A and B are shown apart, each in its own frame.
Chain A
């Protein structure tokens, strides 16, 4: 039996609603679900079948995207608690974090100017370390302490890293030209 169309993302894949997630189990559930609902299974059937399949398949993809990404997964769990961590009015970040991200931005701009691939990789590694630490904090805040205020703070920091990562990607592409 398929879960309800409006089921929450975790229930859709039969997973517990926690931040700490069994990625392999998510992948398996996602594929099993798509195998049932994907438009390729309905291409020879009626328009109505096709439309339903399109909606379902879209829904499954959306849920998978959210659960796969630590940032989106955490924001989704907070949203279930009635907290919009990424609302435009919630932009305050700790000074230490802001200093760090200014340093990264300068390093990326400098590396781009000097065509310094190694410097970019260094920034990338630092950002990954920071992201992993934030994820560990999130697991603790969401799954253990249920401290949603501090979790929301971590989500915002993670979001910031995401934005800088886009700049990093652009710099890598620019150096490859």
Chain B
């Protein structure tokens, strides 16, 4: 009690003031922001009433970045400058990204973290994420009518230190005060557990757009205790799209694909995957930039076959987490499903089979993480109420260690240790008269240094000259409640010490952050012409995508060959002028495409009406 009483003045200065705090789910595919309003967690919508913000950012020269739906709509037309799934690159160097060749981006192989070359210059994944976070911050401040006190940002439980640090840097760049980095499955467990007054052992299976986590928790009298976590920070719904995309390439022997075609086909892969959630089969039709038409039929059975290895790649971590927790599937009371990708029937049935029970789907898998983060943010900001008497105890997902002789890693903090945690280990010199020692901190489960992720490397100098083995060097690792690591080393006889925060080797330097903050400020001074061009492009992008989906749905049955090619030609003309700077030309071509599709639109409407009438007459007969 003593510590709480000491902190009482901080609480009592403004006892009735509600601090504005939000929870942000910074997802691979979509991001959300939520808050607690009148004691209830709610997702904040944009001005059009939409909860999701696609995690897509488009960069154009000398213009503010376009974030969300507007960027998503043009991604197939401007794939180089429209960044999707940036979360996959956070804290990663180019050689970490196994499938780099399948992305349309112009990667720049920078030390510490990969960068992307766009029309608006080279961007770090941290900057791109910051642009997404800034859009969410603006949404929240607009919606809540005031400045935010702070935010809880969620990260995959299986994110390593570099990825966590990059996320925190991005939030800082976006002008957010980070109250906590919170693991996504844990956030989901809060939302589920508090809503259902759940008690017992629960598993959270979280398959997002680009990451997979499994967490095993014990819920007991308001304490959410993570017992074990496991996962794959490079496995998600995107990989299912990619598998489908490869299948499409195998089926139809395409001419050379442009970057635009790749993005278009990936989008179609995603639509097809989503369609198969509801239907036993789906048809994929698309027109490539060369005019080449794709028309394929895909059944759920085929889809399940081609993605079976991906599904089983999620089950091994589940078994490992259970094993680490010392539990079996029979001990698990319920399995909470999180992430849009868990809607796939193949995932639902694989999880049901493994656990021998129907998974819990009563919360929206897209929103549950943001809602849990909002609840946590509310409490962390100091709005805790009498009935908010709950506590979270999380773990570090990966073991932390130090390099020893022979390129081996000595583990100091094993995975699944409850955080915050500090551990120290003593090392000694191995040569007579050795006055410096290099300390190399690693994260991972393997024995060899080369198989683990290097987090920091620093030197302890000024060790007095002694015989080999006489010096005693104590290396201490501390992991805080955000799961972030700091390291210090000390020679015990002389007191010579060195400390590092892990940030400089993987995150951004403070100079970088201030430069980027300045850039962001300059962006605010956009001029009217730029805005007009911007709007014209968005409008063009919207029309192109709408036309494409109309063609996909009804083109074959409602248009003859000439009509079809006239529309496709007009689409191509518009698509070609969109990246240019001539906004009048874009508007003109937009108008033209609108005209050539008029008849098509009329026919589509007629058909809808007919179908509706047909449906009604059936109903009439039945009543």
Contacts and interface: CB of A to CB of B under 8 A. Distances in A.
A58 B7 CA distance: 19
A9 B604 CA distance: 75
Nearest to B478: A58
Interface string A11-52: 000000000000000000001001111111111111001001
A56 B179 contact: no
Interface in B193-243: 220-221, 223, 225
Contacts of B319: 176
A42 B323 CA distance: 33
Given A40-B481, A46-B10, A176-B316, A61 B418 contact: yes
Contact of B3 (A43, A56, A176): A56
Contact of A39 (B150, B417, B480): B480
Given A1-B2, A176-B320, A62 B180 contact: no
A71 to B, nearest CB: 13
Given A35-B391, A39-B481, A40-B481, A52 B3 contact: yes
A58 B380 contact: no
B19 A34 contact: no
Contacts, number: 89
B426 to A, nearest CB: 11
A44 B391 contact: no
A65 interface: yes
B1 A61 contact: no
* Dominant secondary structure at the B interface: mixed
A120 to B, nearest CB: 11
A173 B320 contact: yes
Interface string B303-331: 00000000000001001100100000000
Contacts of A2: 1-3
Contacts of B179: 43-44
Interface residues of B, number: 38
B3 A37 contact: yes
A43 B180 contact: yes
A44 B150 CA distance: 9
Given A44-B19, A52-B3, A176-B320, A38 B380 contact: no
A2 B389 CA distance: 19
A65 B1 contact: no
Nearest to B318: A176
A54 interface: yes
B393 interface: yes
A38 B481 contact: yes
A31 B223 contact: yes
Contacts of B180: 40, 43
A45 B7 contact: yes
Nearest to B392: A40
Interface string A98-109: 000000000000
B418 A49 contact: no
Interface in A96-152: none
A41 B480 contact: no
A65 B423 CA distance: 12
Contacts of A1: 1-2
Closest 3 CB pairs of A and B: A44-B382, A43-B380, A39-B481
Given A64-B418, A65-B418, A173-B320, 15 more contacts: A1-B1, A31-B225, A38-B481, A40-B180, A40-B392, A43-B382, A44-B150, A49-B6, A49-B10, A56-B3, A57-B481, A58-B478, A62-B422, A176-B316, A176-B319
9 contacts: A2-B1, A31-B225, A34-B393, A36-B3, A37-B3, A38-B392, A39-B480, A40-B180, A40-B376
Interface of B: 1-4, 6-7, 10, 19, 149-150, 179-180, 220-221, 223, 225, 316, 319-320, 323, 376, 379-382, 389, 391-393, 417-422, 478, 480-481
